[in-house]
Chains A and B, each alone.
Chain A
């Protein structure tokens, strides 16, 4: 696998690193954020379900960081990449900068994220970068389960009159401006398309995403996310909510840098 990464020209390797970092950080942040529901979800059965989904995301992040470590090959392992960066060094989509919020907010955010991620993974199914192709295929199989769960909940909230639907609409409203950040074009993505690592650029993926969620949103009479207004800032300028999360998740590790835990 390192041989394969070594075969990439610098432009492609940089583009690939950014893609992997974006994907890994997305999974890491949403996994961390949603794992907060463990122990306090609305129902015991739901608690176990949401926790599994959060763990899956963290497992995906772990695998993606591992792949990134091989591509970047600077001596860092997956944990070092995951934990040992300042908040500005994280490259997750702004959609995931929002805090977990209430149940409706979590479901709305999950739905927007999972559907976008699904489009992104599909674009990697024929990837010329074999390790990424294989990992994307595995992740897709696990993500089907997430889509089932979040789809069932979106349906339930959208079709229950009164407070549930109101909260869902409020959540979609708050998330609207950042909803399309997951598939925003990445720097260097054209070199990835040319190298056959991704099958389409961000704008095409965004269009695919909108065709995917359009019918459901129409049927449930939900507002479609607006077009992304600030593509360049889609993955930068992280929120206070993220900074608090970052401070907490690094707090033990920072006690003894370099120690084994």
Chain B
């Protein structure tokens, strides 16, 4: 079988208005094949198009995990909202956390339009049936963590999100463009917090280095283990376009120099750029740790899920109010 990516698109962009797989009259297998050719040829899919089950569930799983991660990602930073040491930092951090909530809203909306109600997604998240990204299972111990997370965790996320702006599922692609634009501010805020501390007292510098030492491991695990491109269904369906390793290399290329220029050190003695190979080499990340963490056995996984559950339960009456019929004249 030829590489699907090499096929010419069946239809030019000006013919998008009518896609043959939307014809309810043709047999399923033919629809599947037409759909597959459309997508692998660079075609886009809207929420109202026909989709094979495999595609629909694939997109939903991808988007749902992303939405869950934005929602859970609020919690590590939220603890420090109340402790921000200046008015400007307080405003910036509140705005950043607000953005994460906003991103969760945008992404859950995309998932809802694929057919899964928000309550069901919340229940699955809280019951541990669906997942969220590794970095949000770890504790935040100092104000320096806030700088490191806002700068480097968001940077690693944005490297992945930039690559999703051309996803085959158009509502998701459009949401990614909005999210990337908003995230760029977060990275600047994070870097500003870090640089300011690095230019400050010895204690502040030590705080930053200590935070970086703790977060480097999870950061290197964040994009996931290397995988075989040809076996990756998400890449096949063009839901995503870049592999884990491509994203990690991109992250390292941009951010390692920016970290080192501040006088910080990285806790991996093997980390270096191999000019001949044209790649970063590094100590193998602890994939066992990643597996343990994303199955909700991380240091803060259960505590954060319980926290979410508690506040979800506490505010059920408000959601019921929004849905309730009100008194009439």
What residues make up the interface of A, taking CB atoms closer than 8 Å to B? 32, 35-36, 38-48, 51-52, 54-55, 58-59, 61-62, 65, 78-79, 82-83, 102-103, 156-157, 159-161, 163-164, 167, 245, 248-249, 251-253, 255-256, 259-261
- Contact residues of A: prevailing secondary structure: helix
- Out of A45, A51, A62, A156, name the residue touching B321 (CB < 8 Å): A156
Give me 30 A-to-B residue pairs in the complex whose CB atoms sit less than 8 angstroms apart, sorted by A's number: A35-B90, A35-B94, A36-B81, A38-B78, A38-B94, A38-B101, A39-B97, A39-B100, A39-B101, A40-B311, A40-B315, A46-B318, A48-B101, A48-B105, A55-B95, A58-B90, A59-B91, A61-B87, A79-B87, A103-B317, A159-B326, A164-B321, A164-B324, A167-B317, A252-B85, A255-B203, A259-B200, A259-B204, A261-B196, A261-B197
The CA-CA distance from A121 to B296 in the complex, in Å, is 50
- Whether B327 sits at the interface, judged by CB under 8 Å, is yes
| Residue numbers in A under 8 Å from B101 (CB-CB) | 38-39, 44, 47-48, 51
Q: Apart from A61-B87, A159-B327, what 5 extra A-B contacts exist at CB < 8 Å?
A: A38-B98, A43-B318, A44-B108, A46-B318, A103-B317
Least CB separation from A54: chain B residue: B94
Asked if A44 and B104 make an inter-chain contact with CB atoms under 8 angstroms apart, the answer reads yes
Minimal beta-carbon separation of B328 from chain A (angstroms): 9
Q: Lowest 4 A-B CB distances belong to which pairs?
A: A42-B318, A42-B315, A39-B74, A51-B98
- Whether B75 sits at the interface, judged by CB under 8 Å, is yes
The CA-CA distance from A35 to B321 in the complex, in Å, is 22
Residues 81-116 of chain B, each 1 if its beta carbon lies under 8 Å from chain A, else 0? 111111111110011011011101100100000000
The CA-CA distance from A102 to B101 in the complex, in Å, is 20
Take A52-B98, A55-B98, A61-B87 as given contacts and tell me if A39 and B105 are in contact as well, using a CB distance cutoff of 8 Å.
no
- Out of B80, B91, B98, B200, name the residue touching A58 (CB < 8 Å): B91
Take A39-B78, A55-B98, A159-B327 as given contacts and tell me if A251 and B91 are in contact as well, using a CB distance cutoff of 8 Å.
no
Interface size class of B (residues with CB under 8 A): 35 or more
Minimal beta-carbon separation of B175 from chain A (angstroms): 14
The CA-CA distance from A260 to B204 in the complex, in Å, is 9
Take A44-B108, A55-B95, A256-B201 as given contacts and tell me if A249 and B318 are in contact as well, using a CB distance cutoff of 8 Å.
no
The CA-CA distance from A32 to B81 in the complex, in Å, is 9
Take A51-B101, A160-B326 as given contacts and tell me if A249 and B200 are in contact as well, using a CB distance cutoff of 8 Å.
no
| Residue numbers in A under 8 Å from B86 (CB-CB) | 79, 83, 253, 261
- Whether B26 sits at the interface, judged by CB under 8 Å, is no
Residues 295-329 of chain B, each 1 if its beta carbon lies under 8 Å from chain A, else 0? 00000000000000001001101111110101100
